[in-house]
């Protein structure tokens, strides 16, 4: 199995005629993803990269049966693109765009509560179920099908983790880059629920970073609801307070959101925390041999 996407997923690309949209549409299609439509206002009725282009997402959905949208739209209009996907009834929207104003994402988050659309991102590499479907910008060739679910706030560290796993012969069920912005669609806990219920996924890799409380929330949820083994790495362990490191959400503010705090909570909840990303492959291999871990709900309140 895989989560959210598979070989039958029908994808449209918002912003397909732009430079980034064109390049990554080609990469997704070459991987095997079924790209059925593109959307660029004013370009409806044309064909780009052998893909029919529509003026609106609703038109594309009605004509092609697209169910997932991959969004390559500039920051100023990206939130509107997400809202258009929601309005058209898209099941899953994957927004790669970085630099979307937080105030715009507040509006998006409110719309997501009332609709059927799940959002991955923004400011993320996307999602891939190896051998089945790639929706995003990740290098497909480093992935292979297998039992490890990978979940990360960092695109680069996702690729590092996957490359290590593949070199050891450990494939991946699904890899999700949830994005590093303060306001995102799919959280760690949201994705962990999906991995929990996926029969193919036998072990989970969680890659966090400083800022916010997403890692702590994920640890506490896993302690009570996840029986599958999970290993974690938290980036930014040497970051100074008040300095943003990489992503917009990766900032220690008021003494909260430090790597030390996150590591402590993860460990208290029974998650093996790694000191270096170079340890991921070895740790996953060991976790697969050990099998399920005990649920620790009562220990951690």
Catalytic (active-site) positions: 247
Q: Which segments within the chain are labelled E, that is strand?
A: 10-14, 34-39, 47-48, 51-54, 68-71, 92-95, 118-120, 126-129, 133-136, 145-152, 172-177, 203-209, 230-235, 272-274
Residue entry with tokens 């005990």: 294
Q: Are strands 10-14 and 68-71 parallel, antiparallel or unpaired?
A: parallel
CA dist 143 and 138 (Å) reads: 9
Structure tokens at 28: 């997704």
CA dist 132 and 186 (Å) reads: 21
Residue pair 190/176 in contact by the 8 Å Cβ criterion: no
From residue 185, alpha-carbon distances to 105, 118, 215, 238, 277 in Å are 9, 7, 15, 28, 25
Residue pair 124/151 in contact by the 8 Å Cβ criterion: no
Q: Are strands 10-14 and 34-39 parallel, antiparallel or unpaired?
A: parallel
């Amino acid at each position: 199995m895989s989560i959210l996407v598979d070989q039958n997923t029908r994808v449209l690309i918002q912003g397909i005629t732009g430079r980034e949209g064109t390049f990554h549409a080609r990469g997704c299609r070459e991987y095997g993803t079924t790209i059925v439509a593109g959307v660029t206002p004013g370009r409806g009725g044309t064909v780009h990269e052998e893909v029919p282009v529509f003026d609106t997402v609703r038109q594309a959905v009605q004509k092609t049966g697209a169910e997932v949208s991959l969004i390559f739209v500039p920051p100023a209009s990206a939130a509107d693109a997400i809202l258009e996907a929601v309005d058209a009834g898209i099941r899953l929207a994957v927004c790669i765009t970085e630099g979307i104003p937080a105030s715009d994402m507040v509006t998006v988050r409110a719309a997501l509560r009332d609709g059927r659309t799940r959002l991955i991102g923004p400011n993320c590499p996307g999602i891939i179920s190896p051998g089945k479907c790639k929706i995003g910008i990740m290098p497909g060739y480093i992935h292979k099908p297998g039992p490890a679910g990978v979940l990360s706030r960092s695109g680069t560290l996702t690729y590092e983790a996957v490359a290590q796993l593949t070199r050891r012969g450990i494939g991946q069920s699904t890899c999700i880059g949830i994005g590093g912005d303060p306001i995102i669609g799919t959280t760690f806990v949201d994705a962990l629920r999906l991995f929990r219920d996926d029969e193919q996924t036998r072990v989970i890799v969680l890659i966090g970073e400083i800022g916010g409380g997403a890692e702590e929330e994920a640890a506490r949820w896993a302690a009570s609801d996840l029986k599958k083994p999970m290993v974690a790495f938290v980036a930014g362990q040497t970051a100074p307070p008040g300095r943003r490191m990489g992503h917009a959400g990766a900032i220690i503010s008021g003494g909260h959101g430090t790597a030390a705090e996150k590591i402590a909570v993860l460990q208290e909840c029974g998650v093996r925390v790694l000191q270096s990303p170079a340890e991921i492959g070895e740790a996953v291999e060991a976790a697969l041999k050990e099998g399920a871990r005990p649920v620790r709900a009562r220990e951690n309140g």
